Structure 1
């Protein structure tokens, strides 16, 4: 058994938030997540540093958990200014395109600016920001098994070519050029 085969999925993903109550309410109202639990301590268990915090956990569905830390004694939140804002994001899967369109209408009814749907050929997505500035994506899969199989076969060569050149590789250009025949 390799280590990878021992993995059973993601336990939780944690982000920082500015205001715990505002963040919990946003995820409850915007995405229907259930607030599962909260932990607050004066010391960080792993490092033993004194740094009071509130750590909350939300049910993102299917055993997936989204967590946030509010750490009031740290400098204000920021982001890596050397990374474009569109790069770092959290994507949630929705059932289908109908669910995606309904989610967009719901989010817009809450006054959120929503981009999309954006067609990625394998899936379509909408994008918006939470109150902390974290970019959130909702995605509805639209791929076929054949598309995914072809992309899986191309992946090792694409990685090798990218690593060698650090230039765009076009092995999967068919995906956006609609050259894939089904």
Structure 2
């Protein structure tokens, strides 16, 4: 599949989520994940719409120029989540360099009182899962696949999407990801 769009993206500038408390969120991401707090914007009026809605917008460096941002919105109703979407679906996933780093991260988080699920094996990566103080699910993942495995997944991706579109059942093109040989 080749894109027909004339737009050439240069990466993700930032991903923004809501938080309950900006300071608590910054402190947690610094302490738990070693992220660096870089920037904040606070306004009484939303620049894009002009509406009155005071906010604090904080930005944290997640490595390699990737930025995670949060909005604290004190005049809005209490923060909730989409109750029609399972909690495991919407999440933030960050890369770590190795399985040893993943295991060390799990130990650090648990020593800080965070409940951690995993490591979970996904065939070409392993990951752990936990929640931040805002209720956002966070994943740390380390790649373990081979170049041949990634190439095969890229090859079958269009086939899988087409089959899913027609059947709404899991295509079997990549069953090899979950075989005992890959554990």
Which bracket does the TM-score occupy, shorter chain normalised? Answer: over 0.9
Q: 1:58 aligns with which of 54, 57, 60?
A: 60
Counterpart position of 2:110: 108
With structure 2 as the length reference, what TM-score do the two structures score? 0.95
Residue aligning to 2:175: 173
- Distance 1:162-1:91 versus aligned 2 partners, 3 A rule: same
- What is the Cα deviation at residue 179 of structure 1? 6.5
TM-fit CA distance, 1:178:
4.6
Deviation at 1:167, TM superposition (A): 1.3
In structure 2, runs of 5+ residues without a counterpart are none
SS of residue paired to 1:107: helix
179 and 156 in structure 1: CA distance in 2 versus 1, 3 angstrom threshold: farther
TM-score of the superposed pair, with normalisation by structure 1: 0.95
Equivalent in the alignment of 2:23? 21
Cα drift, residue 171 of structure 1: 1.0
Q: How many angstroms apart in 1 are the aligned matches of 2:37 and 2:53?
A: 23
**Following superposition, which runs of at least 4 residues in structure 1 exceed 6 angstroms of deviation?**
none
The structure 1 residue matched to 2:92, chosen from 90, 106, 114, is 90
Tell me how far apart the structure 2 counterparts of residues 168 and 127 of structure 1 sit (CA, whole Å). Answer: 23
Q: Aligned match of 2:132 in 130, 133, 143?
A: 130
Report the number of matched residues: 179
Which of the residues 75, 78, 86 maps onto 1:76?
Answer: 78
Q: Secondary structure of 2:140's partner?
A: strand
